[in-house]
Amino acid sequence: MSTPSVPGGGPEQPADAATPSRPPRRVTIAAIAAEAGVSVPTVSKVLNGRSDVARATRARVEEVMARHQYKRRSRGPSPSGPPLVDLVFHEMESEWALEIVRGVETTLADLGASVVLTASEGKHRPGQQWLDGVLARRPLGVILVMSTLTSNQREQLESRAIPFVALDTDGEPPAGVPAVGSTNWDGGMAATRHLIELGHRRIAVISGPKDVLCSRARVDGFRSAHERAGLGYDPDLIRWGDFYIAGGYEHAMELLSRPDRPTAIFAGADMQAVGVLRAARELGLSVPRDLSVVGYDNLPLADWFSPRLTTVNQPLQAMAKTATSMMLTLAEGKQPPALRVDLATDLVVRESTAPRPHGVRS
Amino acid sequence: MSTPSVPGGGPEQPADAATPSRPPRRVTIAAIAAEAGVSVPTVSKVLNGRSDVARATRARVEEVMARHQYKRRSRGPSPSGPPLVDLVFHEMESEWALEIVRGVETTLADLGASVVLTASEGKHRPGQQWLDGVLARRPLGVILVMSTLTSNQREQLESRAIPFVALDTDGEPPAGVPAVGSTNWDGGMAATRHLIELGHRRIAVISGPKDVLCSRARVDGFRSAHERAGLGYDPDLIRWGDFYIAGGYEHAMELLSRPDRPTAIFAGADMQAVGVLRAARELGLSVPRDLSVVGYDNLPLADWFSPRLTTVNQPLQAMAKTATSMMLTLAEGKQPPALRVDLATDLVVRESTAPRPHGVRS
């Protein structure tokens, strides 16, 4: 990877790297200032996220900039020495988050850039306070994990030429927003097909939240695997939850206590699978003899579960590296080869899956 | 917690908050400049971590500042808007690191401060490149996890009035360096006493690296528990390693393959205990029937292990909160009530420990 030069704002630079369909507008700061009825230094302060501008003034300047689709030619040098990169998590949980931090840090190490870490406490949108900080510290760019920005926040970053990339988005990113994900539908398909091939006919899926796109894609893969095999599925065995241990445990306790309990469970996260394994143990079910379990993510820890977990490998480090590289390319004022990249998932078969137990009705 | 005001550098402010024993020196920048044979702006550039100063010049200025124990009256406002805090890990591994990040972030949330995260790739000393960044971005302060600074790095931070606090230090921090830890010796003692009380007489300990102070303290607690019970211990059962799964697995495989295998293993980390549990399973030993296992840390995950892990609770989040508060107090130019704080550890008994199996010789 090449070191991103501090963009010099030369005329050859595309004015609007993130949204190439929008024609570049060359409205000047002076014009913005005149229209907002403020001085040029005031517009400059707003651009640099300085706090010494009255809220109302600032809102007026932002409004005029947004209306004219004003966009700085370059982010300008960071005011704080070595470059920073903002990394925003909706929540920092388990090795899942650490794998992403590792991927980002590894990619930045050669640049001497540091990571500013923000966890937005379970909210999928970081707050305005965070954005104010970004405008002031002018990072090379922003990487948003399972988080989205409001259109207003996007405009503020775009006008300052601070690129942002969505990583493993919670929803469909708006057109023009660069995004890196993985093939969730294929992952759901592969996990379910594996269980079907082992003879399982009552397969449950415990996915993430219904409003998070990757959860839906995995469940759709689950459905398609059944359909392609000419099999029906019991809608009662499709469960939406969260990606955490306790949720996996509760769903599994309920599913496995049914008289027509499933013989296999596809969990939407390795951490959920931990909860499923616990539930099975408490109910006296042996994995994989009585119950097959497939996880999702392939965290380093999954290989150490008891039994070693069969799971869908989601290449989190590679996804983070790809998102970081894409952000650095945009920070250089260049276009990445593609604005949307999904990395492949693949099934890793270990010990937690086995043929359907005898004597269990299908 | 009170919001730290941006230090104004008033004359009432102690000049040397971190090392109160050293008398404040009031050498001026002009005197430093004259002695180093450079201009005052050049000294100012060096102080602010600017890169546009020749290396040799910079070294000369640093040398003169160090000799005179020059210390800025205040860190001055951050050049990048909302305050930053540098958090440095020797390595970001497992929930252990996440617990610390959570503790720091929670404490900073009300201030609108952001965390700059650095993982020094297993090295216990962050590099000069990192330090240059710190000097330039002027964080409120620095929190070092299992890491130490060279005396030269300490001097550079002290001269810029950037406070630093060591969290769970790898070695004995030099006099005057604020540090937060936990009672490792007591933790080792409690874990071992629990096993002795269950009748175990061949107890192994797998600790962390021998040169890391907390590992040594835990092993000393192990020894003392034996001595207080009037028991000897087999030095062959004391193992030094790392804090990770694979190390725990390898040591346990070796220990449990001995003809005189231990009936209990005290692991220096919950992650090590995962490796111990795996080794036991592979060797056909049931935990806790054939082997008792105690972990260390009490990570959230430990309660979900199979069996649920008996472990020493190390209050990582509280330690991180304490270190952050201490750093913020120093950033306000005040002295924290104590410069060294160890939080209490306590034993959490779950399912992985049981009385010594019958028929096993002591």
Cis preceding linkage at A307, omega within 30: yes
- With an 8 Å Cβ cutoff, is B105 touching chain A? yes
Kindly state whether A123 is in contact with chain B, defined as any CB-CB distance less than 8 angstroms.
no
Q: What average pLDDT does range A45-52 have in this prediction? A: 85
One domain for residues B147 and B264: no
Which residues of chain B does A89 touch, with a Cβ-Cβ cutoff of 8 Å?
none
**Number of domains forming the structure of chain B:** 2
Is pLDDT at A15 greater than 50 in this prediction?
no
Q: Are residues A201 and A140 in the same domain?
A: no
For residue A182, give how far its alpha carbon lies from the nearest alpha carbon of chain B (Å): 23
| Residue B354 domain-assigned (yes or no) | no
**What is the domain range of residue A131?**
29-181+317-343
Question: Which of A62-71, A235-244, B5-14 is predicted with the least confidence, judged by mean pLDDT?
Answer: B5-14
Chain A: closest CA distance from residue B94 (Å):
6
Give the mean pLDDT of A87-101.
Answer: 90
A157 and A201 fall within a common domain: no
Q: Does residue A155 surpass a pLDDT of 80?
A: yes
The region, left, alpha or beta by phi > 0 then psi within -120 to 50, assigned to residue A50 is: beta
Retrieve residue B189's tokens: 């003692």
CATH classification of the domain holding B212: 3.40.50.2300
Q: Does A136 touch chain B (CB under 8 A)?
A: yes
- What are the distances in angstroms from CA B22 to CA B10, B62, B176, B235? 19, 19, 9, 44
Q: Which residue on chain B is closest to A300 by alpha carbon?
A: B94
Chain A residues lying within 8 Å of B79, measured CB to CB: 79-81
Average pLDDT of chain B to the nearest whole number: 88
Give yes or no: residues B139 and B248 share one domain: no
Q: Is B23 a domain residue? A: no
Instruction: Please write the tens of the pLDDT for every residue from A166-205.
Output: 998 777 788 889 999 999 999 999 999 999 999 999 999 9
Question: Which of B82, B84, B306 lies nearest to residue A132, judging by beta carbons?
Answer: B82
pLDDT band at A360 (very low <50, low <70, confident <90, very high): low
Using one digit for the tens of pLDDT, what is the confidence trace for B41-90? 999 888 888 888 998 999 999 999 989 988 888 777 777 678 999 999 98
Percent of chain A with pLDDT over 90: 64
- CB–CB of A118 and B115 under 8 A? yes
Helices (H) and strands (E) in chain A, counts: 11, 12
* A101 and A33 housed in the same domain: yes
Asked if pLDDT for residue A266 goes beyond 50, the answer is yes
What are the distances in angstroms from CA A324 to CA A166, A178, A314, B194, B232? 10, 11, 17, 48, 55
Q: Using one digit for the tens of pLDDT, what is the confidence trace for A295-325?
A: 999 999 999 998 999 999 999 999 999 999 9
Task: Please state, in angstroms and rounded to a whole number, the distance separating the CA atoms of residues B271 and B244.
Answer: 5
Residues B41 and B124 both lie in one domain: yes
Q: Give domain status of residue B358, yes or no.
A: no
- Does the beta carbon of B30 lie under 8 angstroms from any beta carbon of chain A? no
Residue A10 has pLDDT above 70, yes or no: no
Give the per-residue pLDDT at A50.
82
Same domain, yes or no, for A175 and A236?
A: no
Q: What is the ipTM of this complex?
A: 0.84
Are A240 and A339 contained in the same domain?
no
Instruction: Check CB contact under 8 Å for B49 and A79.
Output: no
Position B152 pLDDT exceeds 60: yes
Which among A92, A187, A83 has a CA at the least distance from the CA of A145? A92
| One domain for residues A270 and A168 | no
| Cα→Cα distances B172→B138, B177, B188, Å | 26, 10, 18
Tell me the C-alpha distance between A350 and A108, whole Å.
33
Q: What's the confidence (pLDDT) of residue B125?
A: 72
Domain boundary among B297, B315, B333: B315
**Is residue B246 one of the residues assigned to a domain?**
yes
pLDDT of residue B256 exceeding 80: yes
